[in-house]
């Protein structure tokens, strides 16, 4: 057992006295600092507490004018102006900091980075690029390169995007770089320079062997060159890459099999895809093939069986369409009315949705126009929802 010594009691008042002395020193230091701050600074804090942000900002601006040494307040105000969309005020704030001769070098670099963000937010991409390019050789190089990558994507300068992304292995994924190559290929296809597009697609697949878009574009080029068998093989490769994306090439496969006069082979392949990877786009294509070969009654049975297996509202709309083809004339007005009601509703709902930010669009995007994410759209419209109770 540890013996207690009475002299140890003397330690308690000693520690108390030391703590009290330290607190007094801190309080005096705080009072001296607070006296040095301009009155408008405290007015700004008061406005913030009273939920008057606009008046608070004006008070803080006045505080900066009175005491230019409040560097952190400069940065805070500049960022606040930028978030509020007042980019001109943010730019002036950060330009003023950069022009100050007494400012430390690290703070000047921080001010330059903030100014680059201001230009980026204002859409002045050339000025933002110039700022971040200067920062590439500074301690802020990593952030500068990330911002340059965003700028090059906004400017659609995919060659520069690939180069800068290669310097950011922990930030830019192989999936994104493959998409940059696909953008280059797509631009060449639009210019009818397919021979220049093909190497870009090969590089995209080298970066990301599961790049669906590269296989899709490769098939498009082969189809345009009337290499229909090769095109079918390229599109079929998507099953190994990401099967749900087969919905995007269903119509393409149909056209290729028609060109080869191999409708039955195409029907068999697409029926298999529909069974394993159900989607409305695949159902539409198989529906067309069945009507052409086996007639409306067989097409109706196809849609009915598919709806039982995979009940969706959009599928129900398709069932009404199929039913109209086989219904007796006296029943068609009622079916037309029902189809019109359902179609009016599904037309508003048939959207592709970004898994990253939730942005919805009528058309499919490889890059979300809202958040800028690559391959964040599912090829299956989210409103193909299950009707099972």
DSSP output for 187-217: HHHHTT-HHHHHHHHHHHHHH-TT-HHHHHH
Looking at residue 360, its pLDDT comes to 87
Residue-averaged pLDDT of the chain: 79
Cα(249)–Cα(263) distance, integer angstroms: 16
- Pick the range with the lowest mean pLDDT from 149-158, 261-270, 348-357, 358-367: 348-357
Looking at residue 44, its pLDDT comes to 43
Looking at residue 116, its pLDDT comes to 93
Looking at residue 73, its pLDDT comes to 67
pLDDT above 50 (res 255): yes
Q: Are 61 and 77 in contact (CB under 8 A)?
A: yes
State mean pLDDT over 137-148: 93
Q: What is the full DSSP assignment across 313-357? A: HHHHHHHHHHHHHHS-GGGHHHHHHHHHHHHHHHHHH--EEBTTT
Looking at residue 337, its pLDDT comes to 76
State mean pLDDT over 66-83: 68
Strands 352-353 and 360-361 come out as antiparallel
Q: Between 249 and 169, where is the model more confident?
A: 249
Contacting residues for 148 by C-beta, under 8 A, at least 6 apart: 129, 132, 133, 136, 160, 164
Which band of pLDDT confidence, cut at 50, 70 and 90, is reported for residue 196?
A: very high
Looking at residue 70, its pLDDT comes to 64
State mean pLDDT over 320-343: 75
pLDDT above 50 (res 297): yes
Q: Between 250 and 294, where is the model more confident?
A: 250
Looking at residue 346, its pLDDT comes to 66
pLDDT above 90 (res 307): no
Looking at residue 1, its pLDDT comes to 44
Q: Are 143 and 331 in contact (CB under 8 A)?
A: no
- Tokens 């994410």 locate to 373
Which band of pLDDT confidence, cut at 50, 70 and 90, is reported for residue 315?
A: confident
Looking at residue 380, its pLDDT comes to 80
Looking at residue 382, its pLDDT comes to 63
Cα(273)–Cα(289) distance, integer angstroms: 14
Looking at residue 29, its pLDDT comes to 40
Q: Between 92 and 271, where is the model more confident?
A: 271
Which band of pLDDT confidence, cut at 50, 70 and 90, is reported for residue 212?
A: very high
pLDDT above 60 (res 386): no
pLDDT above 80 (res 53): no
Cα(210)–Cα(376) distance, integer angstroms: 15
State mean pLDDT over 88-99: 81
Q: Are 287 and 295 in contact (CB under 8 A)?
A: no
Which 8-state DSSP code applies to residue 218? H
Q: Are 177 and 162 in contact (CB under 8 A)?
A: yes
Cα(183)–Cα(158) distance, integer angstroms: 7
State mean pLDDT over 195-200: 95
From the list 189, 183, 178, the residue with the least C-alpha distance to 154 is 183
Cα(73)–Cα(259) distance, integer angstroms: 69
Q: 116-120, 199-203, 265-269, 348-352 — which one is most confidently predicted on average?
A: 199-203
Q: Between 167 and 346, where is the model more confident?
A: 167
Cα(140)–Cα(386) distance, integer angstroms: 49
- Pick the range with the lowest mean pLDDT from 7-21, 77-91, 121-135: 7-21
pTM here is 0.75
pLDDT above 80 (res 113): yes
Q: What percent of the chain has pLDDT over 90?
A: 40
Domain boundaries, the chain: 351-389
pLDDT above 90 (res 26): no
Q: How many residues does the chain have?
A: 389
Q: Are 73 and 50 in contact (CB under 8 A)?
A: no
Helices vs strands, H then E, count in the chain: 20, 2
pLDDT above 90 (res 383): no
């Amino acid at each position: 057992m540890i013996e207690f010594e009475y002299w140890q009691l003397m330690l308690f008042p000693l520690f108390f006295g030391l703590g009290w002395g330290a607190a007094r020193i801190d309080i005096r230091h705080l009072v001296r600092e607070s006296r040095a701050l301009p009155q408008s600074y405290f007015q700004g804090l008061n406005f913030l507490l009273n939920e008057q942000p606009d008046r608070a900002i004006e008070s803080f601006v006045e505080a900066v004018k009175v005491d230019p040494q409040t560097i952190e307040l400069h940065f805070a105000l500049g960022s606040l102006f930028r978030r509020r969309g007042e980019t001109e005020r943010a730019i002036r704030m950060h330009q003023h900091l950069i022009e100050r001769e007494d400012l430390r070098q690290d703070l000047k670099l921080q001010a330059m980075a903030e100014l680059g963000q201001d230009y980026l937010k204002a859409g002045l991409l050339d000025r933002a690029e110039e700022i971040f390019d200067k920062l590439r050789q500074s301690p802020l190089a990593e952030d500068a390169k990330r911002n340059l990558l965003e700028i090059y994507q906004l400017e659609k300068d995919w060659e520069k995007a690939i180069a800068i992304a290669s310097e950011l292995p922990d930030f830019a994924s192989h999936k994104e770089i493959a998409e940059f190559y696909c953008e280059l290929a797509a631009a060449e296809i639009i210019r009818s320079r397919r021979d220049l597009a093909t190497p870009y697609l090969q590089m995209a697949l080298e970066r990301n062997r599961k790049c669906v878009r590269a296989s899709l574009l490769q098939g498009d080029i082969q189809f345009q060159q009337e290499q229909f068998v090769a095109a079918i093989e390229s599109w079929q490769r998507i099953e190994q890459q990401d099967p749900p994306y087969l919905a995007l090439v269903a119509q393409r496969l149909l056209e290729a099999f028609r060109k080869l006069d191999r409708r039955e082979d195409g029907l068999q392949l697409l029926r298999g895809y529909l069974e394993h990877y159900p989607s409305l786009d695949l159902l539409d294509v198989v529906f067309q093939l069945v009507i052409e070969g086996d007639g409306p009654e067989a097409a109706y049975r196809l849609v009915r069986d598919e709806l039982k297996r995979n009940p969706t509202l959009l599928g129900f709309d398709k069932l009404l369409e199929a039913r109209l083809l086989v219904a007796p004339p006296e029943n068609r007005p009622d079916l037309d009315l029902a189809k019109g009601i359902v179609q009016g509703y599904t037309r508003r709902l048939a959207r592709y949705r970004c898994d990253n930010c939730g942005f919805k669009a009528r058309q499919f995007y490889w890059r979300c126009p809202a958040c800028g994410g690559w391959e964040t759209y599912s090829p299956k419209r989210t409103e193909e929802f299950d009707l099972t109770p």
